[in-house]
């Protein structure tokens, strides 16, 4: 059983919908701006990748935004866009709605609702009794997938994978497995997260927040920028896609998962190298087949060095170009590898490599890495590898291929 990618739904700071997002990638557009979603005036660093153009009332057809948190809204809006892009008639799925699943990844779930809950508690002298029950109802992270199922009327499994910053790749991998094992005909897979004050504070205190720009693989890179959005892909069996005459962007060839089991936040390069090999084996490809790596590429000094070391370990001198779209949109947390997946699929479909912007100086410690500096590059991409790593050592890598 082969798995087709037939729809793309990016809700990002550089564009909502696949056409705008692709144009943003090609132009190397930056989605970074001064924070407006919370009062950031007390922070020394005040930039993030907010999705300013997002209007849930315009993006959602069935979901009532007032009952759902921002991350669920992102997930549902991204899934709606992906369904439209795929041309799926959701009322007439041949296998019925029970065989259409929603698998959504996230780092912080409804972080903005948690923040509002906490602010209400602080405002009430640290009491809980006066908090609005409608706000409490928005807290559970499982609602991200439920928002997708509700918006699209899907009756299959509705599962939220909370595996932090690689969660979208986990979702794509689980979607892949549900399709190849015959459990599903269609899976909406991806992730969502929202910009919030506490993640901004946490990354700042870890010393991981960039002062101005996110500059992955640059010698002087100084960290991430927190960001948000929703990224959902439509996955179908080839059989299902072909029977309805769908356009197939790319094939999802396989994926790999493992765990560092070493440190709660610091990544481990031997474990990542092992994960790359697991993914290649699962996808039936070798290092020589891979034309492009969409890096996790957070832009912290340590993370990029670890990722590069693992890539060089597996690929040797034949390392293909490696770029990080976090330079454009920031670190969208649980959505990050979903955006990476969409970028990988667009790279295959449209024949270009997304650039790593903000790049000025090579880092001698990253010898062998071609980061596609600053300008998108035309290229034939037959196989793309999308990396996702996370707190908890949760590594997940997904491999896409051109349709043969």
Partner 1 sequence: MTALRVRGLGVLLPSVTAPDDPSFPDRPVHAVDGFDVRERLGRRGTSFFDRTTALAVAACADALRDAGVDAGAQQPQDRIGVVLATTLGSFRSTSDFTRETLVQERPYLVNPMLFPNTVMNCAAGQSAIRLGLRGVNATVAGGPVAFLHALRYAADVLARGYADLMVVGAAEELSPHRVWSQVLTRGGGGAACGESAAAFVVGRDDDGSTGGTGTRILAAAAGYGPDGRRAEALSGCVRRALDRAGVAATEVDLVVTAETGPDDHGQFEAATRALGHRPRHRQVTAAFGDCDAATPAVGLAQLILNRRARPEKPGTTALLVAEGLDGAAAAALVRSPQCR
Residues with catalytic roles: 165, 296, 331
CB of 385 to partner 1, least distance (A): 18
Residue 207 or residue 351: which is nearer to partner 1 going by CB?
207
Residue 242 or residue 263: which is nearer to partner 1 going by CB?
263
CB of 204 to partner 1, least distance (A): 5
Q: What are phi and psi of 10, to 5 degrees?
A: -90, 130
Residue 133 or residue 378: which is nearer to partner 1 going by CB?
133
| Conformation bin of residue 103: beta by default, left when phi > 0, alpha when psi is -120 to 50 | beta
CB of 152 to partner 1, least distance (A): 8
Residue 109 or residue 216: which is nearer to partner 1 going by CB?
109
How far apart are alpha carbons 350 and 40 in whole angstroms? 39
CB of 257 to partner 1, least distance (A): 4
Residue 52 or residue 263: which is nearer to partner 1 going by CB?
263
Residue 264 or residue 364: which is nearer to partner 1 going by CB?
264
How far apart are alpha carbons 11 and 44 in whole angstroms? 28
Residue 91 or residue 378: which is nearer to partner 1 going by CB?
91
Taking only Cα atoms into account, the Rg of the chain, rounded to an integer number of angstroms, comes to: 20
């Amino acid at each position: 059983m082969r798995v087709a990618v037939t729809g793309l739904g990016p809700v990002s700071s550089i564009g909502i919908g696949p056409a705008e997002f692709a144009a943003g990638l090609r132009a190397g557009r930056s989605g970074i701006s001064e924070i407006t979603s919370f009062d950031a005036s007390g922070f020394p660093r005040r930039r993030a990748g907010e999705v300013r153009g997002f209007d849930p009332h315009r993006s959602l057809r069935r979901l009532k935004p007032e009952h759902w948190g921002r991350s669920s809204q992102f997930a549902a809006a991204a899934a709606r866009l992906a369904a439209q892009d795929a041309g799926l008639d959701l009322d007439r799925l041949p296998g019925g709605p029970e065989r259409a699943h929603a698998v959504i990844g996230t780092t912080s779930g409804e972080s903005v609702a948690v923040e509002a809950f906490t602010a209400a508690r602080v405002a009430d002298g640290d009491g809980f009794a006066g908090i609005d029950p409608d706000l409490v109802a928005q807290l559970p992270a499982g609602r991200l997938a439920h928002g997708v199922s509700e918006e699209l009327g899907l009756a299959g499994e509705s599962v939220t994978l909370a595996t932090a910053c690689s969660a979208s790749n986990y979702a794509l991998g689980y979607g892949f497995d549900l399709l190849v094992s015959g459990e599903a005909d269609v899976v909406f897979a991806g992730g969502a997260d929202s910009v919030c004050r506490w993640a901004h504070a946490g990354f700042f205190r870890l010393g991981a927040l960039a002062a101005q720009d996110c500059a992955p693989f640059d010698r002087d890179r100084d960290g991430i920028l927190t960001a948000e959005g929703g990224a959902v892909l439509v996955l179908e069996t080839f059989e299902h896609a072909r029977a309805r005459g769908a356009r197939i962007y790319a094939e999802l060839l396989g994926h790999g998962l493992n765990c560092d089991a070493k440190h709660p936040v610091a990544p481990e390069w031997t474990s990542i190298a092992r994960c790359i090999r697991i993914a290649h084996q699962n996808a039936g490809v070798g290092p020589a087949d891979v034309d492009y790596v969409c890096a996790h590429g957070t832009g912290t000094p340590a993370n990029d060095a670890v990722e590069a070391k693992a890539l060089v370990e597996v690929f040797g001198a034949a390392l293909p170009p490696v770029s990080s779209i976090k330079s454009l949109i920031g670190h969208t947390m649980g959505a990050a590898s979903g955006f990476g997946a969409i970028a990988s699929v667009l790279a295959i479909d449209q024949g270009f490599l997304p650039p790593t912007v903000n790049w000025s100086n090579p880092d001698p410690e990253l010898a062998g890495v071609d980061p596609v500096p600053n300008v998108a590059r035309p290229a034939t991409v037959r196989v793309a590898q999308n990396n996702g790593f996370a707190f908890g050592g949760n590594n997940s890598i997904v491999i896409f291929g051109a349709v043969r």
